[in-house]
Structure 1
Amino acid sequence: MAHSHEIPTDLTRNQELVLGALNTSPAPLSAYDILDRLRIEGIKAPLQIYRALDKLVERGLAHRLESLNAFVACADAHCHRKGLIAFAICEDCGKVDEFADAVIEERLGGWAQSTGFKVERTTMEIRGKCQSCLEN
């Protein structure tokens, strides 16, 4: 899931490094995977990674995949949205595709309104096999 997005200029050094690690990774990374990659940059404490990840997620620049306890860079440079974000996770190669669906988001919004449920964030994770793995 390598990305070539522009990194915002107002990030801290640690946030830049963490986002860079996520952008260049073909698969989701755990906080400890990121720490291992950034030790050479002088980052030694998991807390430094978690703080940077929290800010990146808050700004919509990265997403947490709950089922993997791992993180990915946002696939859409202009995403920064709070609506429904869905991830298709390949069980074989670990590739993650991100997408948003207005119809599902609208249906969920209608349900939430009718039940009085206040949705703070919605992340959908879909497991299966990507086209490349199916063809091999």
Structure 2
Amino acid sequence: MSEFDRNENVISMRGELAIVKEEIERLRNLEDRLRYHERGIPYTNIEEKSKIQNQIRETRNYREEQEKTAFLLEKSLKVIMAAIPQLSGIEKKVFYLQRYSGKSLLEISEDLGYDYGYIRRLASQAKKKAEKTRQKQA
């Protein structure tokens, strides 16, 4: 297992992706059950049929949102996996802390004990390297 695979940010992204995929599967099953239930409702019971159709529509919309989230997480992980070998040790830390922990460059400089200007330069370099890697993948 590489250092990258052990990184807690990547692990948390993978965990989040697994949770989102489980939620997508749960929503698909729920949608199937609702459709099955809808077929058993007589057409004369318009109120009940409408209620179930609304539940199906809401479930489908939420599932589509979760699918978009999963797509973005997978895309982010691919970019990270490809970009990491291009980054130095401190660039990796700055990249993770900024992109995936949501910390500001000032917070990162304080946490790591480096000058703000140095951290800003590293963040810029890491961003450029990640962007080049992303463009190569596209």
Q: TM range, normalised to the smaller chain?
A: 0.3 to 0.5
Bigger relative contact order, structure 1 or 2 (CA pairs below 8 A, ≥6 apart): 2
Q: Give the greater-gyration-radius structure (CA).
A: 2
Name whichever structure is richer in helix by fraction. Answer: 2
Structure 1 length as normaliser, TM-score?
0.33
Name whichever structure is richer in strand by fraction. Answer: 1
Structure 2 length as normaliser, TM-score?
0.33
